[in-house]
Homo-oligomer: A and B are copies of this chain.
């Protein structure tokens, strides 16, 4: 069985394990103040083009989201996010468990717009009884989104401006950030992210690391006392160098981007065959997630060889599904998938 149902089904890039082996007999300081972590912080600051960023390494995405949001908000404040945003759908109410309401906005292909945010803020500020409602104070978006789509520079800049206008924080969940940065059509850089957001994170778990997310904070108000919050949420890894060393490997010579490009290229191959066969897509995208609408017999042909995840039933004969490639996807597996797709689609369409 070849796994295409997610992008975190293999441990890590061999270079990371090798580096871990190299330092395995060294004694290190705990809690993220070791030399590896410091070096990784410096690498990330450099690639973001700024020295004044606070960089913290956490273990996983939900943990990162809840820690960042809890650090930012007062009790009556809420976070705006696309209705399909990960914090709204797949984190078991982790944000609410810290006391904050998540305010979902209707979204198009996983994205929201500056206009939507402005409309919410206008309505809130004009409400004479606004203290009977939560105060939106942060905007959470993912790039790429949960549907593999990406924001353009202009879209992100517009959202950033609206956030500044209304005194809101902008937080970009980058669990799959590499796949966005290397996507065809992308015009956003890490340095743009540091400039336009108050905080974002660079996902490692889904892009070559064993685990680990690098939180990059450019707003000093959010950076204040952030380590207390990490510790309080059980997110401070005792052996913090395990995070530092991974981001060192990923960022010292471009591995992070290289792995991301690979995954996108693998996805492109799959997109090609689907396109050639005129297969409709639930959502168009250019990152490592692909959402084709396939006839049931095709899915039947695939299911004994490949895993994929079900999105929704479209009609009596078609379902939308998701295939994920990743940094670890092997080209031969993609070729095998493409071959079967090609044959089966021709037969059943």
Seen from chain A, the residues whose Cβ lies within 8 Å of a Cβ on chain B are: 1-3, 6, 8-12, 14, 17, 20-21, 23-31, 59-67, 70-71, 74-76, 78, 89-94, 96-102, 129, 131-135, 205-206, 210-211, 225, 227-239, 241-242, 328
User: Whole-angstrom distance from the CB of A232 to the nearest CB of chain B?
Assistant: 4
User: Whole-angstrom distance from the CB of A13 to the nearest CB of chain B?
Assistant: 9
User: Known contacts A24-B11, A234-B66; is A225 also within 8 Å of B93 by CB?
Assistant: no
User: Whole-angstrom distance from the CB of A323 to the nearest CB of chain B?
Assistant: 14
User: Whole-angstrom distance from the CB of A23 to the nearest CB of chain B?
Assistant: 7
**Which of B20, B205, B227, B237 is in CB contact (< 8 Å) with A17?**
B20
**Which of B2, B23, B229, B237 is in CB contact (< 8 Å) with A60?**
B237
The reply to whether B10 and A21 contact each other, CB–CB distance below 8 Å, is: no
Show 6 residue pairs from A and B whose CB-CB distance is below 8 angstroms, ordered by the A residue.
A8-B239, A71-B74, A76-B228, A76-B231, A90-B129, A98-B99
Contacts of A92 in B (CB 8 A): 76, 131-134, 228, 231-232
Classify the interface of chain A: helix, strand, loop or mixed: loop
The reply to whether A211 and B234 contact each other, CB–CB distance below 8 Å, is: no
The reply to whether A231 and B67 contact each other, CB–CB distance below 8 Å, is: no
- CA A95 to CA B158, docked complex, whole Å: 33
The reply to whether A242 and B11 contact each other, CB–CB distance below 8 Å, is: yes
The reply to whether A233 and B231 contact each other, CB–CB distance below 8 Å, is: no
The reply to whether B62 and A59 contact each other, CB–CB distance below 8 Å, is: no
From A62, which residue of chain B is reached at the shortest CB distance?
B234
**Which of B30, B74, B99, B242 is in CB contact (< 8 Å) with A225?**
B74
The reply to whether A60 and B238 contact each other, CB–CB distance below 8 Å, is: yes
The reply to whether B234 and A60 contact each other, CB–CB distance below 8 Å, is: yes
